[in-house]
Structure 1
Amino acid sequence: MSPPRWRVAGIAAAVAALLGGFLVVTGPPAQAAETLLSQGRPVTASSTESAAFPASSAVDGDGGTRWSSAAADPQWLRVDLGTPVAISRVVLRWEAAYATAFQLQTSTDGTAWTTIHSAANAAGGDQSIAVTGTGRYLRLHATARATPWGVSLWEFQAFGEGGTAPGTPTLLSYRKPGTASTSQSDGSCWECTPDKAFDNDPASRWATSTTNGWVDPGWIAVDLGATARIQRVVLQWDPAYATAYQIQVSADGNAWTSIYSTTAGRGFKETLTVSGTGRYVRMYGTARSNGYGYSIYEFQVYGTGGNPTPLPPQPADPVFPATRLVWSDEFSGAAGGKPDPAKWRVDPGTGQNNEVQYYTNNENVSLDGNGVLVLEARRQTAGGRDYTSHRMNTGNTFHVQYGRIEARVKVPKGNGLWPAFWMMGADFLTGRPWPYNGEIDIMEVLGRNTSEAYSTLHAPAYNGAAGYGLKYATVDLSQDFHVWAAEWDSKGIRFFLDGRLVFTADKATVESTRGPWIFDHQFYLILNLAVGGDFPGPVDATTPFPSRMYVDYVRVYQ
């Protein structure tokens, strides 16, 4: 919702500080790795509502597609895992038409079934169910519907311990060599070379050249390193997408066979079920969506065979409500003291977005002696500006990926004031420019209306005034302390004010409607009180100075 707000001043000091020690928290220790066994496997159902809601949609890994049954009881959905395998967990992502009563059952032959879980008063939503069972087949057997409609699942996922089940599609394209009809790498497209489509980094992308690539056709191909059976292709498009294209395979990179074709490409994230064999896979675009070329953030090829490179390990998702405190500052200390330098780095200098303050070197911040940090904005000349204030971050002391991040804050009232509690992607400190690193604004309040607050995400495809977020009405936030929190995991971020859920940024929804999700990496925390600028507007004669932002605590749980 807000214009971009990113740090440039002090980056050299921040990078130098990285040579020292800082705390990185990436999540609770991972247990033995679970394998997703069901994705892309053969699946059958008792019925379907229509051809638009096939059984295969429940195991395609796409959170925007679903299976839906006829409106009758009972109904079932069965997936063939290919071979008998131990199942440790089942995830059900229900649509609003869920089952209140159901069983999870396993079978070795698809005929005789053993119940491994039974529910009589289920509430729908997202359910992660620990089970113990072995079988080649897993079945959801629904016996009572919650609505007059049938039953419907966005995803039906079976997990087991250990290696990949035979036949389970694996990401084959990660870090494999890419080639393209043309590519771009200049000031307007940061390192947009073919390899960026295969790096599993959703903030980087390939684009055709501005000099000779804004034409049809345009293509990008990947060498999987060995012959593979291709089962699924995922394309995360930039707005310069193809409305007509083919997915092609080749044994030698010269002779190509089409295994998928469309003239109705819709951009954003497209998950394609395909079937073909080859060492090389190519997206061959024949019609562009606009006057630009072709551009793809991620081109992922799944299947068996090839010569796959393992993905880097990711931290386990926290279980909410998270209760393990991994970092905090209660701001205890004597009155007049300064923030703990073992936890915070002062970030002096000017702001962005046409802000009018100068952030001083710890002169506009102090402890009050009662466990509260005070950030103070003053009408005072410094650094060529007429106002001063304070900004600090944990860039060289603490990074985190996933968890509950919260702060208890009292904001100031007054035209032009802009208090914020937010996070910046840690790769900004090593030179990656905004917004490629990602920004998570947990709380922003504009002093001109302290009965509203904002929570917003910024990424290459949605940033500044077009950021993905929400303005929400509330009480006058300047009258007392309030707790803002973000609960963040690999599926998305949920924002809270005083325990009330105010906004949900769902990863699958963002990918299918706005662009890549770039928030699965380490971030650091920031507190600041800005004055003036594009978002809050100017100060005026009614703006009180000094104005103060009070912070009772900042805590991170996992």
Structure 2
Amino acid sequence: MSPPRLGTLVTLVLALVAPLLAALPAQAAAALLSQGRPATASSTESAAFPASAAVDGDAGTRWSSAFSDPQWIQVDLGSSAALSQVVLRWEAAHATAFQIQVSANGSAWTTVHTTTSGPGGTQTIDVSGTGRYVRVHGTQRATPWGYSLWEFQVYGTGSGERLLSYGRPGVASSSQHDSTCWECTPARAFDLDPASRWATAAWADPGWIYVDLGATAQITRVVLQWDPAYARAFQIQVSPDASAWTTIYSTTSGTGFKQTLTVSGTGRYVRVYGTQRATSYGYSLWEFQVYGTGGAPITPPSPAPDPADPPRLVWQDEFDGPAGARPDPAKWTADPGTGPNNELEYYTDNGNAALDGQGRLVMEARKQATPGSACPRDPLTGSATCQYTSHRMNTGGKFHFTYGRVEARIKVPRGNGLWPAFWMMGADFLTGRPWPYNGEIDIMEVLGKDTRTSHSTVHAPAYNGGGGIGGSYTLPGGADLADDFHVWAAHWDSRGITYTLDGRTVVTLSKEEVERTRGPWVFDHPFYIILNLAVGGDWPGPPDASTPFPARMLVDYVRVYQ
């Protein structure tokens, strides 16, 4: 028998393979749609177990509810999607009875899966439905505890929606440009920079801003991040020519902060038209984002990637070296001068910081008069002299990074008026962007008058100084932080910041929660590290006769993992 020709072989192979290909599950080509998307829940057991933890891609974090029925968790996929699969990775506190539900608007729900015999563990559930919102609705708990999910993953095919407004030209009824709102032009609302904004110069109704998408588009979603000067009543409008406008959304009870609006309309121009101000000021938007299909979109810069798992060490200083050696100049820059906040010290670039020969950096505050142009003036002599010296240093210009875990092992000093700190500043501060528009991440601040309490905070244009967002915390049993070394860390990614002390979570900041309740999140760009020991200032108050000098802040190491 002669061998078959090549064409015959191909035909035979295709005949055998075709049924196998047809049998492959549809979800093989589906994408993970839920990771990193905004998530909300009916309740949380505590701030340590937020809804966002179930969609963060981290198998070591989880959402946990209150201990009652029913409870739910939902994720906003950002646009309508055809769903094919839901994966639930339960903690021991799982649901025996629950439903998977979908919704176009987050209020009217359709059930696509239901069970009364959920086994817990990892459940892979094939579903069929279309929606922007997906919810797990638990109706019967398997334990006396609440409901708890390590991961809530939604797979499917998205609608092709994309950001259309980035970098596109804008026009407004008026624009503010003065000492209180520098260059608050329409373009600032479309630059994806959460620290710049548009504001009306006229504090009157109506006030409006529109964007030219460059071509006709189908509009599906509008995201507004308001300044405190927001609209109580406004409309979202579309137009083919910026002349005749059609309203596709209207409200008389605007909430301010971040509003994500599901809309449907067609036009080249999209306008926010404010008719009633919530304050005596004008209208102001940090961000005005338009999503949909069509238009002439400009591709925005790629966001920084979240740290990989497991993380790897990318930068460190172990402070190894001979006693008396200066901090490594390849890693640190001394920052001499007077401090802010009415501090009393003068930061030197000489002997106030040195290695101790035992693998530690010693930052020393001394009672030592030093002239300085910004120091307080003696009322009798008129000379400007600071009565204390100390040290401040940073990695600016030598090491900047976006996201990761940054940690330091530190022993803080005790004494009235002392103020040790381990913190980070947005790198654009070095190129002229003023504080707090660049952002500030305070990992550790301890006041020498209360060394049983530590503070971790963030500062941004909409919340800074005494209005910064963060928390205060203590060691178990109220132990004194000045008695030993402790490890302060910030675990920072695109979803927020989690602060830990000796590995124990002490403060959790969710980007989604901050944007929804306080204002823009300005921490998704490069930062650099700062260590300093301040003396006096508005917060700690002045030293007194009981304050020990010299006072020493000891740093065992600083490390960054990504």
TM-score in same-fold range (> 0.5) = yes
Among 160, 164, 167, the alignment partner of 1:168 is 160
Give the Cα–Cα distance (whole angstroms) in 2 for the partners of residues 506 and 74 of structure 1.
19
Task: Please say if 1:377 is aligned against 2:365.
Answer: yes
Corresponding residue number in structure 2 for 1:297 = 286
Match of 1:308 among 291, 297, 303: 297
- Counterparts of 1:131 and 1:428 in 2: how far apart (Å)? 47
Aligned to 2:119: 120
1:218 maps to which of 204, 207, 210 = 207
Partner residue in 2 for 1:477: 481
The corresponding residue for 2:540 is: 536
In 2 relative to 1, CA 346–271 (structure 1 residues): closer, same or farther, beyond 3 Å?
same
Alignment check: 8 A CA contact 1:37 1:81 kept: no
Report the CA distance between 1:315 and its aligned residue. Answer: 2.7
Is residue 350 from structure 1 mapped to residue 349 from structure 2 by the alignment? Answer: no
- Check the 8 A contact 2:70/2:138 in 1, yes or no: no
RMSD over aligned CA atoms reads 4.0
Partner of residue 108, structure 2: none
- The Cα offsets for residues 39-94 of structure 1, whole Å up to 9 and x where unpaired, read as 9x9xxxxxx9xxxxxxxx99xx9xxxxxxxx978999999999888998x968999
Q: CA deviation at 1:144?
A: 7.3
What secondary structure, in the 3-state scheme, does the structure 1 residue paired with 2:316 have?
strand
1:196 pairs, out of 183, 188, 203, with 188
SS at match of 1:400: coil
The offset of 1:102, in angstroms, is 7.5
Residues 1:168 and 1:513: Cα distance change in structure 2 (over 3 Å): same
More relative contact order, 1 or 2 (CA 8 Å, 6+ apart):
1
Contact 1:331/1:373, CA 8 A, preserved across alignment: yes
Q: Deviations over 1:204-245 (max 9, x none)?
A: 110011xxx100000010011111111111110000000000
- Shift of the 317–145 alpha-carbon distance from structure 1 to 2, 3 Å rule, reads farther
Moved more, 378-387 or 231-240: 378-387
CA contact (8 A) 2:236 2:249 kept: yes
Which of residues 482, 505, 513 in structure 1 aligns to 2:509? 505
Tell me the equivalent position of 2:555.
Answer: 551
Question: If the length of structure 1 is used for normalisation, what is the TM-score?
Answer: 0.76
Q: Normalising by structure 2, what TM-score? A: 0.76
Alignment of 1:3-14 (within 5 A): none
Cα distance in 2 for partners of 1:547, 1:74 equals: 52
Q: CA deviation at 1:146?
A: 2.9
State the Cα deviation string for residues 118-156 of structure 1 (Å, max 9, x = none).
98335xxxxxx9989998869888787437999899x97
Alignment CA distance shift 1:181-1:356 (3 Å): same
- 1:117-266 maps to which residues of 2 (within 5 A)? 120-122=119-121, 145-146=140-141, 158=154, 167-209=159-201, 213-266=202-255
In structure 2, relative to structure 1, the CA distance for the partners of 1:416 and 1:35 (3 Å cut) is farther
Structure 2: distance between partners of 1:344 and 1:207 = 39
Structure-to-structure mapping, 1:293-442, within 5 angstroms: 293-319=282-308, 322-382=310-370, 383=372, 384-442=385-443
Q: In the TM superposition, what is the alpha-carbon distance from 1:169 to its structure 2 partner? A: 2.0
Change (3 A) 1:99 1:170: farther
Q: Is the 8 A contact 2:396 2:529 kept in 1?
A: yes
> How far off its partner does 1:516 sit?
0.5
What's the CA shift for 1:191?
1.9
Larger Rg: 2
CA shift at 1:98, angstroms? Answer: 6.8
Return the alpha-carbon distance in structure 1 between the equivalents of residues 72 and 487 of structure 2. Answer: 45
Classify 1:360/1:180 alpha carbon distance in 2 versus 1 (closer, same or farther; 3 Å).
same
Partners of 1:400 and 1:78 in 2: how far apart?
29
Q: 1:52 matched to which residue of 2?
A: none
Alignment partner for residue 490 of structure 1, among 490, 494, 497? Answer: 494
1:307 shift after superposition = 1.4
Q: Secondary structure at the match of 2:167?
A: coil
Q: How many angstroms apart in 2 are the aligned matches of 1:464 and 1:75?
A: 34
Aligned residues: 475
Q: What amino acid is the match of 2:251?
A: T
Superposition pairs of residues 42-57 of structure 1, within 5 angstroms = none
User: Does residue 1:99 correspond to 2:95, yes or no?
Assistant: yes
Residues 81 and 133 (structure 1), Cα distance of their counterparts in 2 relative to 1, 3 Å cut:
farther
Moved over 4 A (4+): 34-39, 70-87, 89-94, 100-105, 129-144, 147-153
- 1:522 partnered with 2:522: no
Q: Which runs of 5+ in 1 are unaligned?
A: 1-33, 42-47, 49-56, 62-69, 106-112, 123-128
Report the Cα offset of residue 306 of structure 1.
1.1
Over the matched positions of the two proteins, sequence identity in percent amounts to: 63
Structure 2 CA distance for aligned equivalents of residues 348 and 337 of structure 1: 18
Q: Which amino acid aligns with 1:446?
A: L
193 and 455 in structure 1: CA distance in 2 versus 1, 3 angstrom threshold: same
The separation in 2 between residues aligned to 1:418 and 1:73, in whole angstroms, is 44
Unaligned runs of 5+ in 2: 1-29, 43-50, 56-67, 102-111, 373-384
